[in-house]
Amino acid sequence: MQQNADASPVTGQLTRRDALKRGAVVGGALVWAVPAMQSMSVGTADAASGTVPPPGPQPAACIPSHGLLLVRTAGGVLVGIKVDEDGSIDGIPAKNGDAEFLGAAPRGYSGWVKPSAAGITVSGGKAAGGTALYLVVPTGTTFVGAWTADGNLSGGPGSPAGLDYAAVTPVSGRVTFSKAC
């Protein structure tokens, strides 16, 4: 009696390994069965309603360390505005971590002046409910850029000053600075 060349020497049956080899040799087709799902249970309330449950609660907004806003006057002067977590507004200092962030590539901003030096008035502070900071883009200026700054915005590595920065876009002339708590 002649034994099959691909048979197991012990049992005389075709092994799984040999079956896969044969399948690869004969046309290269995949010789494998993917398990199929045979049943699934759905809660009766969900099945009857045909609706999707609402998403879970959104993270609460908190006040970040500060917000930065750059605008350009009609005369081309770059103005740097900073709102602190207590709602106070001032210019962006020319030599600190914020200045390093704004001056680094790809931003490359420098030479900004304080709002008072440009003769513009800035409004803003803490948003109602104390959940964010805000600045209003001053009349007669053009928005250049804005960033929320805090030590834990994204959980990622910080800037040279140990802060994370997140870009912010104005909505209806108002820039809101917040972070997830």
Q: Which two tokens stand for residue 39?
A: 């049943």
User: 45 lies in a domain?
Assistant: no
The answer to whether residues 10 and 80 belong to one domain is no
pLDDT classification of 180: cutoffs 50, 70, 90: confident
Tens of pLDDT, residues 136-165: 999 999 999 999 988 765 444 444 445 788
Instruction: Answer yes or no: is 154 within a domain.
Output: yes
Q: What is the SS3 assignment for 155?
A: coil
Q: Judge if 73 and 129 occupy the same domain.
A: yes
User: What does the pLDDT read at residue 164?
Assistant: 83
Same-domain pairing of 65 and 30: no
- How many domains does the chain contain in total? 2
Q: Are residues 159 and 74 in the same domain?
A: yes
Write the Ramachandran bin of 107: left for phi over 0, alpha for psi from -120 to 50, otherwise beta.
alpha
Report strand pairing: 89-91 vs 124-126.
unpaired
Q: Are residues 17 and 66 in the same domain?
A: no
pLDDT digit string (tens) for 2-34?
Answer: 555 555 455 566 666 666 666 555 555 444 444
pLDDT for residue 163: 75
State whether 20 and 65 are in the same domain: no
More confident residue, 181 or 68: 68
CA–CA gap between residue 113 and residue 87 (Å, rounded): 20
Give the pLDDT score at 129: 87
- 126 and 72: one domain? yes
- Report the C-alpha gap between 134 and 148 in whole angstroms: 10
Please indicate, yes or no, if residue 46 is contained in any of the structural domains: no
Position 144 in a domain: yes
One domain, residues 94 and 27: no
Residue 83 lies in a domain: yes
Coil, helix or strand at residue 82: strand
Strand order in the sheet with 78-84: 89-91, 78-84, 66-73, 141-150, 164-167
7 assigned to some structural domain:
yes
Domain check: are 93 and 7 in the same one? no
Residues 175 and 152: their CA atoms lie apart, in Å, by: 20
56 domain-assigned = no
Angle among Cα 170, 179, 65 to the nearest 5 degrees reads 95
Domain holding 145, by residue range, is 61-180
pTM of the entire predicted model: 0.63
pLDDT digits (tens, 9 = 90+) for 88-101: 999 999 888 899 99
Say if residue 90 is in the same domain as residue 134.
Answer: yes
For residue 51, give every residue at least 6 positions away whose Cβ sits within 8 Å of its Cβ, in sequence order, or none: none
106 and 27, same structural domain?
Answer: no
- 25 and 107 together in one domain: no
- On average, the pLDDT of the chain sits at 76
